[in-house]
A and B are shown apart, each in its own frame.
Chain A
Amino acid sequence: MKKIIFVCSLLFGAALLCPAADLQSAEELYREGKFAAALGQYEDLLATYPNDPHVYYNIGNCYFKMGSTGLAIANYYRAFRLDPRDADIRHNLSLALENSGERFVPTGMPEVLHKLFFSLRTDELKGLFFLSLWLFCTLGALWLVKRRLGRAAVAALAVMIVLAVWYGWRERIAQSPLAVLAAPVTELRSGPGTNFPASASVAQGHLLLIQDAKDNWYDVIVKAQGLQGWVEADALEKI
């Protein structure tokens, strides 16, 4: 019996150490400049940790070092959605977007406000909104029944409305069909096929909003320039 417990504890310990070992070997490859090999190890880790912002961040770093700014941005964005308060993720995403001619903080918006707007994850904001709803319902019921704490109920209502707008906005951003150009250079065409003429050539890393899809082509709007056209599905990476 003791042997079984010993073996089980060893296996458990090995299972705990396994991701750490993988991370360490991937990091060593990264330090040696073997970015493609490190990338493969981080992508393997995604199977075990599909929602880990650090793994996405590291994948983004590998792509960035390999010169694939588009794929780096896509992975930084995934990491940012999972952990918007992480300063490293914010920095790298901002830098990668700047290199592609995009802006992370919209023009005219103070960075402090942008940070505040993204200070909570979407699901955290959802939880906060739920709390405000519950508080308002409790205070409202109390006022209706006992005619007490009326002012507090009004204040709770105001907070709830602010949180509802904030959460709705964030949810809308999260649900928007955002993509990034992954191919080094892509041509925007006037129709879904190479037989349609190209209207513009776009470098990797530009953010796109997907409008429509036909066969293996997407109708997209380049956010920074407002250009619209069709690109091949292989050329973009959905975020």
Chain B
Amino acid sequence: MLKRIMLLLLLLLPLSAQAALDLTGVSMTASVNKTSLTLEDELVLTVTVDGATGDFMPQLPSLPSFNVYARSTAKQINNFHAISTFEYIMVPRFAGKAVIGPITLTYGNKTYKTEPITVTVYRASAAPKDTTKKSAASSPSPVAARRAAPAQAPADMPLLERNLYNMAARNGDKTYFMVAAVNNDTPYVNQTVTLGVRFYFARPFMDNAPYNEPTISNLFMELISTSEGRQTIDNKTYGYIERRYAISGVTAGPAQTGGASVRYIPAGNLTNLSVFDRMFAAVSQEEETVKSNSVDLTIRSTPQEGKPKSFYGAVGSGYTISASVDREEVEAGEAVNLTVKVNGSGNLKPTSDLKLPQIPGFKIYDVAATSGAVPSNGELKSYKIFKTVMVPLSSGSYTIPALEWSYFDPSAKQYRTLRTKPLNIEVTPSSKTDTGFDFGAHSDLGGGFRQLGRDIRYLKSDIADATLTFLVKIAHLPWLNYLFIALLGLSGVFALMDKQTLAGRRSLAKTRQLLKNANTEEQISEALSAYIQVRYGVHTASLPLRDISAALEKHGCSAELVKRFEALWQRLNAARFAPVDMQGEGTTELARQATELIKAMDKGGRA
């Protein structure tokens, strides 16, 4: 009877299952595997849709900051509950904050949206910002927990395995559980530590259990290995699947790895079911999820003391450096490719680019850096390659000096500096430009001379005479210019100040003195003649009076003064030829009149 009912149900199942699925609520969530990454890293965006069946596809928003290059879809139906997971693998295009906008899903006339997600993208060489957010319910540090708990693992066991072992020992009462631990919870910035995540199971589970990687904050993370093993806890044997990651802090301060999780379907009861039940086991068994603990770290800065200039942020050990050029002989103006390669244990991706020194005689272009990391023997080996183009400007033998690159060795707690070997480059003159020696310019110069070519003249074997020439000394006396220009200006001012020149003034003073001392009419006449000559430029010698008068008027003397001059001149002539007894009083009077006349002339007796 029961089997008949089941057969009926089997026939009705496709219809009823669809109806049951449609009745359940639909929800959608989105998450990313990391919130801080470099331009060289991948970002996995996971969109999980709960409760929707049929063909549908979430609509991604515009993602200008990313290139989406892969997509995968997984759908599961469990207990009439459909879970669809869409994974998008993306690579960032630009450094900086990138926002993944709300992802939309239109299903059953309803639109569902996720919250926006912000991630920070760094350049491989840039110093990233701290993106750490404090966990609201942070778990105790595994190292701290290890310290608090009684040691259960053998003392000679490696630290990470011991931590995982002890963490697992605390969960011995569970059938399925996950733990996570690190081998160092106080690393330096860029120092690589190993994060181990183990999924323990005491009973089998169905295959295809989806695994979600731990989320990270203020950390870079690379998967380095996956392994399986067994561990006995409280006399119960567990199998475990382990994943190991190399993680490194991006800035000093707190950092955290969130819990990793596994969704599994226990398969322990399948053996007790009938064949019919086993057919529906996939839909009758409950899916369960376990999540590992989160791990808190404190990232330390490398010490300032002793930090070399050539330190670009690398922390690790066993680094090596090498430098090479693609050509050791080159023409001037041709490019030489210089490659510097650094590799070793640790994460070199976030370190800064090598700064090349100025090399005389070369034009050096910007350095381009590439980096990569490869898991090897359970640890992360990384490399960084710096390439630049150098162009020699002139011929000669050049040596590229040893290039320095430093790193911090955390085990020795000191900086170590690596040096490349110096590289020699022979640069020959460029064949593209004229060398300057014209061997082809043969010409006959005549006289038995024949020009074979032209070259520059030979060196100077001495230092030039540095003695300043007379003219150069003069050039160092510019202040004298002002003196001479002032002299010229003053002379001009004196010349313009009055109608008379200085010579005229001096002549007036001299004439007055002569008239004062004059004893004869002859002397008075001579003094007056000299004054008129200087004042008006009129020569009185051997000229008749009317000509003198005409000349005076012509040179600007007023008519009144000319009349006074004529009267005085006639009286002087008369006195000069008069009898002797008439002299005496007359000479003094004539001298006075002459003095009055030249005073009037000096004051401006012009017509």
Contacts and interface: CB of A to CB of B under 8 A. Distances in A.
Nearest to B454: A95
A203 B455 CA distance: 20
A96 B438 CA distance: 11
Interface string A64-83: 11111101100000000011
B211 interface: no
Contacts of B397: 36
Interface string B407-437: 0000000000000000000001110111110
A197 interface: no
A184 B456 contact: no
A69 B393 contact: no
A127 B471 contact: yes
B464 interface: yes
Given A124-B472, A134-B481, A145-B501, A203 B432 contact: yes
A88 B478 contact: no
Nearest to A48: B463
A207 to B, nearest CB: 15
B466 A184 contact: no
Contacts of B469: 124, 127
A65 B491 CA distance: 61
Interface stretch (A2-10, A53-61, A105-113, A172-180): A53-61
Interface centre among B435, B456, B484 (most CB of A within 10 A): B456
A123 B470 CA distance: 11
B463 A19 contact: yes
A169 interface: no
A184 B484 contact: no
B452 interface: no
Q: Which one of B435, B491, B492, B495 has the highest number of Cβ atoms from chain A below 10 Å of its Cβ?
A: B491
A218 interface: no
A185 B456 contact: no
Contact of A123 (B461, B472, B492): B472
Given A68-B393, A137-B484, A141-B491, A121 B472 contact: yes
A69 B436 contact: yes
B56 interface: no
Contacts of B355: none
Given A66-B394, A140-B491, A183-B391, A92 B456 contact: yes
Interface in B490-507: 490-492, 494-495, 501-503
Contacts of A68: 332, 393-395
Given A63-B394, A67-B435, A95-B456, A123 B333 contact: no
B332 A184 contact: yes
Interface string A7-33: 000000000000110011001001000
A205 interface: yes
A227 interface: no
Contacts of A144: 488, 491-492, 494-495
25 contacts: A20-B462, A23-B462, A52-B464, A54-B464, A65-B456, A68-B394, A68-B395, A69-B436, A71-B394, A82-B464, A88-B457, A95-B455, A99-B434, A123-B471, A127-B473, A127-B474, A130-B477, A137-B485, A138-B487, A141-B491, A146-B503, A183-B393, A184-B393, A184-B432, A184-B433
